[in-house]
Amino acid sequence: MRQVFGRPKSLTDAPTHYCPGCSHGIIHRLIAEVIDELDVRENTVGIAPVGCGVLAYDYFDCDFVEASHGRAPAVATGIKRTVPDSVVFCYQGDGDLASIGAAEIIHAATRGEKITVVFVNNATYGMTGGQMAPTTLLGQKTTTSPRGRDAGSAGYPIRVAELLSSLSGVAYISRVSVTSPANVIKAKRALKEAFKVQINKKGFSLVEFLSTCPINWGMSPLEAMKWVDEKMSVYYPLGDYTQVPEVSR
Protein backbone atom coordinates (compact mmCIF):
# COMPACT_ATOMS: atom_id res chain seq x y z
CA MET A 1 0.00 0.00 0.00
CA ARG A 2 1.39 3.43 -0.98
CA GLN A 3 1.37 6.03 1.79
CA VAL A 4 -0.01 9.33 0.51
CA PHE A 5 -0.05 11.35 3.70
CA GLY A 6 2.01 11.33 6.88
CA ARG A 7 3.87 13.35 9.45
CA PRO A 8 6.67 15.50 7.97
CA LYS A 9 10.15 14.27 8.92
CA SER A 10 10.87 17.62 10.52
CA LEU A 11 8.08 17.22 13.07
CA THR A 12 8.40 14.96 16.10
CA ASP A 13 5.50 12.79 17.25
CA ALA A 14 5.15 14.74 20.52
CA PRO A 15 1.53 15.79 21.12
CA THR A 16 1.42 19.60 21.12
CA HIS A 17 0.10 21.62 24.04
CA TYR A 18 -1.82 23.98 21.78
CA CYS A 19 -5.50 24.61 22.45
CA PRO A 20 -8.26 23.25 20.19
CA GLY A 21 -8.78 25.54 17.20
CA CYS A 22 -5.44 27.32 17.59
CA SER A 23 -3.53 27.80 14.33
CA HIS A 24 -0.07 27.03 15.74
CA GLY A 25 -0.42 23.36 14.82
CA ILE A 26 -1.14 24.12 11.15
CA ILE A 27 1.71 26.63 11.00
CA HIS A 28 4.14 24.15 12.60
CA ARG A 29 3.18 21.57 10.01
CA LEU A 30 3.64 23.98 7.12
CA ILE A 31 7.13 24.91 8.36
CA ALA A 32 8.05 21.24 8.70
CA GLU A 33 6.74 20.44 5.21
CA VAL A 34 8.76 23.31 3.72
CA ILE A 35 11.93 22.22 5.55
CA ASP A 36 11.39 18.66 4.27
CA GLU A 37 10.68 19.73 0.70
CA LEU A 38 13.77 21.96 0.61
CA ASP A 39 15.73 19.13 2.23
CA VAL A 40 17.40 21.39 4.81
CA ARG A 41 16.40 19.70 8.08
CA GLU A 42 19.97 18.72 8.97
CA ASN A 43 21.07 22.25 8.29
CA THR A 44 18.35 24.12 10.11
CA VAL A 45 18.36 25.85 13.48
CA GLY A 46 15.05 27.12 14.85
CA ILE A 47 14.63 29.82 17.51
CA ALA A 48 11.68 29.49 19.85
CA PRO A 49 10.12 32.61 21.42
CA VAL A 50 8.63 33.33 24.79
CA GLY A 51 4.90 32.86 24.40
CA CYS A 52 2.73 29.95 23.28
CA GLY A 53 5.47 28.84 20.88
CA VAL A 54 8.02 28.51 23.69
CA LEU A 55 8.03 24.71 23.50
CA ALA A 56 8.34 24.61 19.70
CA TYR A 57 11.68 22.84 20.15
CA ASP A 58 9.79 19.77 21.36
CA TYR A 59 7.74 19.62 18.17
CA PHE A 60 10.36 20.20 15.47
CA ASP A 61 12.99 17.59 14.76
CA CYS A 62 15.87 19.96 14.08
CA ASP A 63 18.37 21.88 16.22
CA PHE A 64 16.60 24.46 18.32
CA VAL A 65 17.40 27.32 20.68
CA GLU A 66 15.02 28.90 23.14
CA ALA A 67 15.47 32.71 23.20
CA SER A 68 14.47 35.30 25.78
CA HIS A 69 11.34 37.36 25.15
CA GLY A 70 11.58 39.25 21.88
CA ARG A 71 15.26 38.53 21.25
CA ALA A 72 14.93 35.70 18.74
CA PRO A 73 16.17 37.86 15.82
CA ALA A 74 19.30 38.81 17.83
CA VAL A 75 19.93 35.17 18.77
CA ALA A 76 19.34 34.15 15.15
CA THR A 77 21.84 36.80 14.07
CA GLY A 78 24.48 35.33 16.38
CA ILE A 79 23.89 31.83 15.01
CA LYS A 80 23.71 32.81 11.35
CA ARG A 81 26.86 34.95 11.61
CA THR A 82 28.64 31.93 13.09
CA VAL A 83 27.29 29.32 10.66
CA PRO A 84 26.50 31.30 7.49
CA ASP A 85 25.43 28.22 5.54
CA SER A 86 22.81 27.13 8.04
CA VAL A 87 19.12 27.83 7.64
CA VAL A 88 17.91 29.82 10.63
CA PHE A 89 14.29 30.58 11.38
CA CYS A 90 12.62 32.43 14.25
CA TYR A 91 9.14 31.53 15.44
CA GLN A 92 7.63 34.56 17.16
CA GLY A 93 4.29 35.78 18.39
CA ASP A 94 2.93 39.31 18.34
CA GLY A 95 3.90 40.29 21.89
CA ASP A 96 7.34 38.81 21.39
CA LEU A 97 8.02 40.37 17.99
CA ALA A 98 5.99 43.58 17.85
CA SER A 99 6.17 44.72 21.46
CA ILE A 100 9.15 43.71 23.57
CA GLY A 101 11.21 42.66 20.54
CA ALA A 102 10.37 45.61 18.26
CA ALA A 103 13.96 46.86 18.19
CA GLU A 104 15.45 43.43 17.48
CA ILE A 105 13.12 42.67 14.55
CA ILE A 106 13.57 46.09 12.95
CA HIS A 107 17.36 45.93 13.13
CA ALA A 108 17.63 42.32 11.99
CA ALA A 109 15.44 43.29 9.03
CA THR A 110 17.35 46.44 8.19
CA ARG A 111 20.68 44.62 8.40
CA GLY A 112 19.27 42.17 5.89
CA GLU A 113 20.08 39.24 8.16
CA LYS A 114 19.68 36.10 6.13
CA ILE A 115 17.10 34.58 8.42
CA THR A 116 13.42 33.71 8.08
CA VAL A 117 10.92 34.90 10.64
CA VAL A 118 7.60 33.17 11.13
CA PHE A 119 5.43 35.80 12.78
CA VAL A 120 2.26 34.47 14.37
CA ASN A 121 -0.21 37.31 14.92
CA ASN A 122 -3.25 36.30 16.96
CA ALA A 123 -3.99 39.77 18.31
CA THR A 124 -3.52 38.74 21.93
CA TYR A 125 -1.07 37.43 24.52
CA GLY A 126 -2.15 33.80 24.44
CA MET A 127 0.14 32.16 26.95
CA THR A 128 -0.27 34.70 29.74
CA GLY A 129 -4.05 34.55 29.48
CA GLY A 130 -5.32 36.94 26.84
CA GLN A 131 -3.93 40.37 27.60
CA MET A 132 -3.80 43.19 25.05
CA ALA A 133 -1.14 42.77 22.35
CA PRO A 134 0.41 45.41 20.09
CA THR A 135 -1.71 43.87 17.33
CA THR A 136 -5.00 43.78 19.29
CA LEU A 137 -7.66 45.41 17.11
CA LEU A 138 -9.42 48.62 18.14
CA GLY A 139 -12.46 47.73 20.22
CA GLN A 140 -11.22 44.20 20.83
CA LYS A 141 -11.78 43.11 24.43
CA THR A 142 -8.86 41.52 26.27
CA THR A 143 -8.12 41.02 29.97
CA THR A 144 -6.17 44.30 30.01
CA SER A 145 -8.54 46.16 27.69
CA PRO A 146 -11.81 44.98 29.26
CA ARG A 147 -13.85 47.71 27.59
CA GLY A 148 -12.19 47.13 24.24
CA ARG A 149 -8.93 48.58 22.93
CA ASP A 150 -9.24 52.36 22.92
CA ALA A 151 -6.90 54.23 20.59
CA GLY A 152 -6.98 57.25 22.91
CA SER A 153 -5.17 55.43 25.69
CA ALA A 154 -3.72 52.28 24.10
CA GLY A 155 -2.85 53.56 20.62
CA TYR A 156 -3.29 51.65 17.39
CA PRO A 157 -2.50 48.08 16.35
CA ILE A 158 0.84 47.70 14.54
CA ARG A 159 0.90 46.44 10.95
CA VAL A 160 4.20 44.58 11.08
CA ALA A 161 4.41 43.46 7.44
CA GLU A 162 3.82 47.00 6.18
CA LEU A 163 6.17 48.52 8.76
CA LEU A 164 9.09 46.24 7.94
CA SER A 165 8.54 46.37 4.19
CA SER A 166 9.94 49.92 4.17
CA LEU A 167 13.39 48.62 5.16
CA SER A 168 16.00 48.05 2.48
CA GLY A 169 17.41 44.90 4.06
CA VAL A 170 14.12 43.08 3.55
CA ALA A 171 14.02 40.64 0.64
CA TYR A 172 10.60 39.08 1.16
CA ILE A 173 7.56 39.75 3.34
CA SER A 174 4.12 38.27 3.06
CA ARG A 175 0.98 38.17 5.19
CA VAL A 176 -1.10 35.00 5.08
CA SER A 177 -3.82 33.19 7.01
CA VAL A 178 -4.74 29.55 7.42
CA THR A 179 -8.52 29.87 7.60
CA SER A 180 -9.31 27.75 4.51
CA PRO A 181 -7.58 25.11 2.40
CA ALA A 182 -6.97 27.78 -0.26
CA ASN A 183 -5.36 30.08 2.31
CA VAL A 184 -3.26 27.23 3.72
CA ILE A 185 -1.90 26.50 0.23
CA LYS A 186 -1.07 30.19 -0.29
CA ALA A 187 0.53 30.33 3.16
CA LYS A 188 2.76 27.39 2.39
CA ARG A 189 3.81 28.94 -0.89
CA ALA A 190 4.78 32.14 0.91
CA LEU A 191 6.66 30.24 3.59
CA LYS A 192 8.62 28.29 1.01
CA GLU A 193 9.50 31.47 -0.81
CA ALA A 194 10.72 33.00 2.47
CA PHE A 195 13.01 30.02 3.15
CA LYS A 196 14.27 30.06 -0.45
CA VAL A 197 15.08 33.76 -0.17
CA GLN A 198 17.24 32.93 2.84
CA ILE A 199 18.90 29.94 1.21
CA ASN A 200 19.70 32.07 -1.84
CA LYS A 201 21.21 34.66 0.55
CA LYS A 202 18.99 37.47 -0.72
CA GLY A 203 18.27 39.03 2.64
CA PHE A 204 15.73 39.08 5.43
CA SER A 205 12.41 37.29 5.01
CA LEU A 206 9.25 37.20 7.11
CA VAL A 207 5.83 35.62 6.83
CA GLU A 208 3.10 37.05 9.04
CA PHE A 209 0.40 34.50 9.85
CA LEU A 210 -2.98 35.80 10.99
CA SER A 211 -3.73 33.21 13.62
CA THR A 212 -6.53 32.21 15.96
CA CYS A 213 -6.80 32.13 19.74
CA PRO A 214 -10.33 30.80 20.34
CA ILE A 215 -9.83 30.30 24.08
CA ASN A 216 -8.76 33.85 24.82
CA TRP A 217 -11.05 35.35 22.21
CA GLY A 218 -13.97 33.51 23.83
CA MET A 219 -15.03 31.91 20.56
CA SER A 220 -15.49 28.46 19.09
CA PRO A 221 -12.72 27.36 16.67
CA LEU A 222 -15.06 28.00 13.75
CA GLU A 223 -16.06 31.47 14.99
CA ALA A 224 -12.39 32.26 15.48
CA MET A 225 -11.54 31.36 11.88
CA LYS A 226 -14.43 33.55 10.75
CA TRP A 227 -13.18 36.42 12.91
CA VAL A 228 -9.76 36.22 11.21
CA ASP A 229 -11.45 36.46 7.80
CA GLU A 230 -13.98 39.14 8.71
CA LYS A 231 -12.09 41.34 11.16
CA MET A 232 -8.36 40.71 11.20
CA SER A 233 -7.92 40.38 7.44
CA VAL A 234 -9.61 43.77 7.00
CA TYR A 235 -7.13 45.63 9.20
CA TYR A 236 -4.27 43.32 8.19
CA PRO A 237 -4.72 42.69 4.43
CA LEU A 238 -3.25 39.47 3.12
CA GLY A 239 -0.61 39.51 0.40
CA ASP A 240 3.01 40.28 -0.38
CA TYR A 241 4.57 43.39 1.10
CA THR A 242 7.99 43.35 -0.45
CA GLN A 243 7.87 46.69 -2.18
CA VAL A 244 11.47 47.78 -1.78
CA PRO A 245 12.82 48.26 -5.30
CA GLU A 246 15.87 46.17 -6.08
CA VAL A 247 17.81 49.31 -7.02
CA SER A 248 17.73 50.69 -3.47
CA ARG A 249 19.09 47.51 -1.98
Q: Which residues of 202-223 are buried (b: 16+ CB within 10 A; e: fewer)?
A: ebbbbbbbbbbbbbbbebeeee
- State yes or no: residue 76 binds other proteins (CB under 8 A): yes
Q: Choose which of 45, 173, 187, 238 interacts with other proteins (CB under 8 A).
A: 45
Q: Choose which of 21, 49, 57, 194 interacts with other proteins (CB under 8 A).
A: 57
Closer of 40 and 178 to other proteins (Cβ)? 40
- State yes or no: residue 44 binds other proteins (CB under 8 A): yes
Range in contact with other proteins (rule: CB under 8 A) among 35-43, 123-131, 215-223, 240-248? 35-43
- State yes or no: residue 145 binds other proteins (CB under 8 A): no
- State yes or no: residue 96 binds other proteins (CB under 8 A): no
Q: Choose which of 11, 49, 77, 216 interacts with other proteins (CB under 8 A).
A: 77
Closer of 17 and 249 to other proteins (Cβ)? 17
- State yes or no: residue 231 binds other proteins (CB under 8 A): no
Range in contact with other proteins (rule: CB under 8 A) among 24-32, 62-70, 167-175, 204-212? 62-70
Compute the least distance from the CB of residue 137 to other proteins, in Å: 29
Closer of 75 and 178 to other proteins (Cβ)? 75
| DSSP secondary structure of the chain | --------TTB-SPPP-PPTT-THHHHHHHHHHHHHHHT-GGGEEEEE-SSGGGGHHHHBSSEEEEPPTT-HHHHHHHHHHHSTTSEEEEEEEHIIIIIITHHHHHHHHHTT-S-EEEEEE-SSBTTTTSB--TTPPTT--BTTBTT---HHHH-----HHHHHTTSTTEEEEEEEE-SSHHHHHHHHHHHHHHHHHHHTT--EEEEEEE---HHHHT--HHHHHHHIIIIIHHHS--EE-----GGG-
Q: Choose which of 22, 67, 228, 232 interacts with other proteins (CB under 8 A).
A: 67
The span from the first CA to the last CA of the chain, in angstroms, equals: 51
Compute the least distance from the CB of residue 109 to other proteins, in Å: 11
- State yes or no: residue 34 binds other proteins (CB under 8 A): no
Q: Choose which of 16, 33, 38, 64 interacts with other proteins (CB under 8 A).
A: 64
Q: Which residues are at the interface with other proteins (CB under 8 A)?
A: 41-45, 47-48, 54-55, 57, 60-68, 71, 74-83, 86-87, 103-104, 106-107
